[in-house]
Amino acid sequence: MTFSTSISSSHSIFNFQQQRYFNLHHSHTTRNVVVCSAKPISPPKLSAVDSSKDRIGSLSQVSGVLGCQWGDEGKGKLVDILAQHFEIVARCQGGANAGHTIYNSEGKKFALHLVPSGILNEDTLCVIGNGVVVHLPGLFKEIDGLESNGVSCKGRILISDRANLLFDFHQTVDGLREAELNKSFIGTTKRGIGPCYSSKVNRNGIRVGDLRHMDTFPQKLDLLLSDAASRFQDFKYGPEVLKEEVENYKRYAERLEPYIDDTVHVINDAIAQKKKILVEGGQATMLDIDFGTYPFVTSSSPSAGGICTGLGIAPRAIGDLIGVVKAYTTRVGSGPFPTEIVGPGGDLLRSAGHEFGTTTGRPRRCGWLDLVALRFSCQINGFSSLNLTKLDVLSDLDEIQLGVAYKHADGTTINSFPSDLDILEQLKVEYEVHPGWKTDISKIRNYSDLPKAARQYVERIEELVGTPIHYIGVGPGRDALIYK
């Protein structure tokens, strides 16, 4: 299988998906491509680890798993695997816009959105931190689904009393906001995440802890709903709407009470007791509100800083951070995507990787692995190691490309990932072309058993990014992981 792709981002700022497609075999006059030589690549010197137990056992007391790209990298699977060796798994930001797909030991699939991915490990306590925005109807639906499939949640989930509540009207406002933006829409999941964080920052949001004071709850909710009605002409609001919602939340409050806790105290007390804590990030660094492709970003901080603010953990307590990155790149919604493959090539990669959103079902945009974005992500987060996922998806390709550098139109190198959309619009990507391995690797469990071309691809990524790859995903199941 051979893909066609373009390396120029000369397209409208608000139409990043327009055609950028031409054939690899006729691209030598128009593209910046470096063909890799057959000379073996010397991998960076990594400490020898004899087994997965040693690898995981060496992780620090407070470790984290964060996304490196635009989300959907497969963070949930690694969290699920590592959770067997941690006593607490905690979500620090985002909301039900995060979709983490995991499989239990029998191969049964679970799609999680708010509940941390450690829930399948019965000895793990799952914490939803203060930085998360919580949609209670969705959370209860998720818990009911887990319970009906034999996964006990009682006494195993704690929700911060400081977390903000996400209401159905936030979702309505999300859709109205996207419609208002018209052609410059962000491409959100319409799960109400942005409007809820806006309420939080406007300081009129409602917290989980407010459910313990139902005498003042109606006034607070009325303020929120009235504000939305004044802002959007199509937002319908009246006394009956308020009355119905208050009655709903009286029932929700009663059910939620056993889950509510001061999780800042719980987490810090656990640290003092030397318990092992694994932090699970939602979304990813290139969607960070500060560091991502603004404004085409999420409304929280899915990078390392979000751990401190989203859980109340001191920076000095945080140890190993593992970055999760696909062996290629995907993103959903609008926004710049320099290494995107538009046309049949992108369709083939999407089909091979089953690239459709866990939360929305939307087809993901697909492209080559972008090492400029990955290096930027590693700099921001200080990852101690990487988890390269979906390497098996590339198995049928004749050749694979790596986006290794960004260039201005005059050929000068761009030193980092630009914040300026005008620069992202006009840059050119320099690629290396690597040979494919044309072999099914989904059953391989030892790194040395991978085809030589696959190992060279992995080691080239390590060499250019400067961060070791300790975990390699070769399939969706728990066991489909190579420890390097």
Query: Is there a contact between 65 and 278 (Cβ–Cβ < 8 Å)?
Result: yes
Residue 333: predicted pLDDT: 83
Cis peptide before 295 (omega within 30 of 0): yes
Residues 299-303: contacts with CB within 8 Å, 24+ apart?
A: 299/193, 299/194, 299/196, 299/197, 299/198, 300/93, 300/94, 300/131, 300/193, 300/197, 301/93, 301/131, 302/66, 302/67, 302/71, 302/93, 302/94, 303/66, 303/377, 303/380, 303/381
Residue 108: predicted pLDDT: 87
Same domain, 373 and 238: no
Choosing from 11, 80, 100, 428, the catalytic residue is 100
Phi (first) and psi of residue 239, to 5 degrees: -55, -35
Residue 361 in any domain: the answer is yes
Give the residue numbers spanning the domain of 471. 24-46+322-483
Q: Is 72 a catalytic residue?
A: yes
Res 17 pLDDT > 90: no
Alpha carbon 180 to chain centroid distance? 26
pLDDT in tens, 208-249: 999 999 999 999 999 999 888 888 877 888 888 899 999 999
pLDDT in tens, 272-293: 999 999 999 999 999 999 999 9
Residue 7 in any domain: the answer is no
Write the DSSP symbol of residue 104. -
Q: Which residue has the higher pLDDT, 407 or 176?
A: 407
Q: What is the mean pLDDT of the chain?
A: 88
Residue 230: predicted pLDDT: 83
- The CATH code of the domain that includes 236 is 1.10.300.10
- The CATH code of the domain that includes 388 is 3.90.170.10
Same domain, 365 and 461: yes
Choosing from 11, 72, 113, 326, the catalytic residue is 72
Same domain, 221 and 368: no
Which tokens hold the place of 476?
């969706």
Same domain, 349 and 415: yes
From 236, 257, 278, give the residue that closes a domain: 257
Same domain, 441 and 426: yes
Q: How far apart are CA 336 and CA 286, in angstroms?
A: 10
Confidence band, pLDDT 50/70/90 cuts, at residue 359: low
Confidence band, pLDDT 50/70/90 cuts, at residue 16: very low
pLDDT in tens, 443-479: 999 999 999 999 999 999 999 999 999 999 999 988 9
Query: Is there a contact between 307 and 279 (Cβ–Cβ < 8 Å)?
Result: yes
Confidence band, pLDDT 50/70/90 cuts, at residue 439: very high
Residue 37: predicted pLDDT: 40
Choosing from 11, 135, 170, 200, the catalytic residue is 200
Residue 130 in any domain: the answer is yes
Residue 52: predicted pLDDT: 74
Find the helix or strand (DSSP H, E) in which 471 lies.
Answer: strand 469-473
The mean pLDDT of 153-172, rounded to a whole number, is 95
Q: Is 200 a catalytic residue?
A: yes
Same domain, 347 and 453: yes
Find the helix or strand (DSSP H, E) in which 306 lies.
Answer: helix 305-311
Domain count, the chain: 3
Same domain, 352 and 474: yes
Q: How far apart are CA 132 and CA 92, in angstroms?
A: 6
Residue 5 in any domain: the answer is no
Residue 431: predicted pLDDT: 97
Binding residues for substrate: 358-364
pLDDT in tens, 333-350: 889 999 999 989 899 999
Residue 187: predicted pLDDT: 60
109: exposed, middle or buried (C-beta count within 10 Å: 0-12, 13-18, 19+)? exposed
What is the tally of helices (H) and strands (E) in the chain? 13, 21
Residue 185: predicted pLDDT: 59
- Give the DSSP per-residue string, 27-57: -TTT-EEEEPPSSPPPPP------SHHHHHH
94: exposed, middle or buried (C-beta count within 10 Å: 0-12, 13-18, 19+)? buried
Same domain, 287 and 141: yes
244: exposed, middle or buried (C-beta count within 10 Å: 0-12, 13-18, 19+)? exposed
Binding residues: 71-77, 97-101, 189, 203, 283, 298, 358-364, 390-392, 473-475
The mean pLDDT of 131-139, rounded to a whole number, is 97
- Give the DSSP per-residue string, 429-440: EEEEEEE---S-
Confidence band, pLDDT 50/70/90 cuts, at residue 103: confident
Res 309 pLDDT > 60: yes
- Give the least confident one: 1-10, 121-130, 409-418: 1-10
> pTM for the whole thing?
0.87
Counting residues of the chain whose pLDDT is more than 90, the rounded percentage is 72
Binding residues for GTP: 71-77, 99-101, 364, 390-392, 473-475
Query: Is there a contact between 229 and 172 (Cβ–Cβ < 8 Å)?
Result: no
From 272, 302, 317, give the residue that closes a domain: 317
pLDDT in tens, 22-61: 233 323 323 455 544 434 444 444 433 455 778 898 999 9
Phi (first) and psi of residue 150, to 5 degrees: 85, 10
Residue 161: predicted pLDDT: 98
Residue 31: predicted pLDDT: 40
Residue 163: predicted pLDDT: 98
Residue 57 in any domain: the answer is no
Binding residues for IMP: 72-75, 97-100, 189, 203, 283, 298, 362
Q: Is 227 a catalytic residue?
A: no
Residue 120 in any domain: the answer is yes
Same domain, 193 and 223: yes
From 233, 257, 281, give the residue that closes a domain: 257
Res 358 pLDDT > 80: no
Same domain, 204 and 97: no
Query: Is there a contact between 270 and 263 (Cβ–Cβ < 8 Å)?
Result: no
Residue 3 in any domain: the answer is no
Residue 399 in any domain: the answer is yes
Q: How far apart are CA 2 and CA 21, in angstroms?
A: 13
Residue 131: predicted pLDDT: 97
Q: How far apart are CA 152 and CA 154, in angstroms?
A: 6
Same domain, 121 and 195: no
pLDDT in tens, 79-98: 999 999 999 999 999 998 77
Length of the chain: 484
Residue 145: predicted pLDDT: 95
Same domain, 224 and 333: no
